[in-house]
Chains A and B, each alone.
Chain A
Amino acid sequence: MHELAITEGVVAAVTDRLPDAKVTSVRLEIGALSGVVADSVRFCFDLVTEGTALAGATLEITEPPASCRCRACGAEFAPDWPILLCPCGSADVAVLSGADLRILSVQVA
């Protein structure tokens, strides 16, 4: 259940950046390859934000799918997680998107 620590990290990062703000909404990006379960973050969010400047804030999560580029043949493809294998057979691939875990923006009152 690392999503609890992840959600605490979100609250800490937002309150560090905006120490005097009352936050009414938080937008997160949780990529398909990030290793974090969006539903678990939703589950934790109200609990973790209670008593903080984020209390009562709404949570919006975008979940971009994974995309990769093959370094052997140059093709871009959507990997069939968990196997990041290019259709050409090469395993030498770069992840283009879907690995990120980011706070995109917040709404402040």
Chain B
Amino acid sequence: MCATCGCDGPGAIVHDVIGPGAAHHGHDHDHDHVHDHVLAPSDDRTVVLQQKVLAKNDAIADRNRAFLAGRGVVMVNLMSSPGAGKTTLLERTARDLAGRPRIGVIEGDQETALDASRISAAGCPVVQINTGAGCHLDAEMVAAALARLDPAAGSVVVVENVGNLVCPALFDLGESRRIVLASVTEGEDKPVKYPHMFARADLVLISKVDLLPYLTFDLDRYEADLARIAPNAARLKVSATSGDGLADWYGWLASLGQTAAATTA
């Protein structure tokens, strides 16, 4: 069994949104390790490894980053709890930007291609990953999805991670920016409850701000907590329903697109 994603069981499946059947993602497991055949037959002995547990994932993430840089593509990792509005924001973004910059989407969910269908209907190239029992995407799944997505030079790839504020924080996918989206309906305590996720964000999107008049959400406390936990993260308030703040979000994305284009030039 693949130790990273658990495939060869009810594991991760990468598939296009349109087309019959879900294809299993290709594995090119490296086995270029050093075989230590010098084990003493009698007493136990200590072998010092000093190895990062996530070394394999991180190596694949670095390969993803090199692949993207070679193509002049920038990838962002979009994370949130389930139902925070990742897909709705991406749908509206795809429709409003209409290809400037070009956006490709990798959708991560445990099951179904529902989100990929929505993104595809909004006019974006999209690949769906179903993680099965998995609670997060890892670099190997994203490598397979990138090969399928085949992103164009100068484009921005948005990885919509599995809705979860805990597990995705740990797994580098090869992205150049991490975005955490948190909706005002979730309450203002999310940054202090899930600090690992917020502390590593480059951009925090506060979503569904059109609902603020109907909630007791304490925006000042939220911003103060964010300033302490993620002092270097940019912050934008957005609503995909009313359009509030979307110009700033598009500006942020466009600057990434320019970065991508500049690396190809």
Q: A residues 66-89 with Cβ under 8 Å of B? A: 81-85
Interface size class of A (residues with CB under 8 A): 35 or more
- What CA separation (Å) do A107 and B49 show in the bound complex? 11
Flag whether B116 is at the interface (Cβ < 8 A): no
Do A5 and B56 have beta carbons less than 8 Å apart? no
The contact of B33 among A11, A17, A36, A109, by CB within 8 Å, is A17
Q: Which of B19-27, B96-104, B162-170 contacts A (4 or more CB under 8 A)?
A: B162-170
- Report chain A residues within 8 Å CB of B45: 107-108
Query: Do A35 and B47 form a contact, CB below 8 Å, given A13-B55, A16-B33, A84-B199?
Result: no
- What CA separation (Å) do A28 and B194 show in the bound complex? 24
Flag whether B134 is at the interface (Cβ < 8 A): yes
Closest B residue to A3 by beta carbon equals B167
Total A-B residue contacts, Cβ distance less than 8 Å: 115
- What CA separation (Å) do A108 and B43 show in the bound complex? 8
Which of A14, A35, A100, A106 has the most chain B CB atoms inside 10 A of its CB?
A35
- What CA separation (Å) do A11 and B51 show in the bound complex? 12
- What CA separation (Å) do A61 and B45 show in the bound complex? 18
The dominant DSSP class at the A interface is mixed
Do A5 and B138 have beta carbons less than 8 Å apart? yes
Do A8 and B3 have beta carbons less than 8 Å apart? yes
Distance to closest chain A CB from B182 (angstroms): 15
Do B39 and A108 have beta carbons less than 8 Å apart? yes
Q: Mark A1-19, 1 if CB is under 8 A from B, else 0.
A: 1100110111111101111
Flag whether A21 is at the interface (Cβ < 8 A): yes
- What CA separation (Å) do A35 and B197 show in the bound complex? 9
Distance to closest chain A CB from B196 (angstroms): 4
Flag whether B253 is at the interface (Cβ < 8 A): no
Flag whether A101 is at the interface (Cβ < 8 A): yes
The contact of A101 among B1, B39, B46, B52, by CB within 8 Å, is B52
Q: List 13 A-B contacts (CB under 8 A).
A: A2-B167, A8-B1, A9-B56, A9-B57, A13-B49, A18-B39, A21-B36, A82-B192, A82-B195, A85-B231, A101-B53, A102-B52, A108-B39
Residue ranges of A at the interface with B (Cβ–Cβ < 8 Å):
1-2, 5-6, 8-14, 16-21, 24-25, 28, 35-36, 81-85, 91-92, 100-109
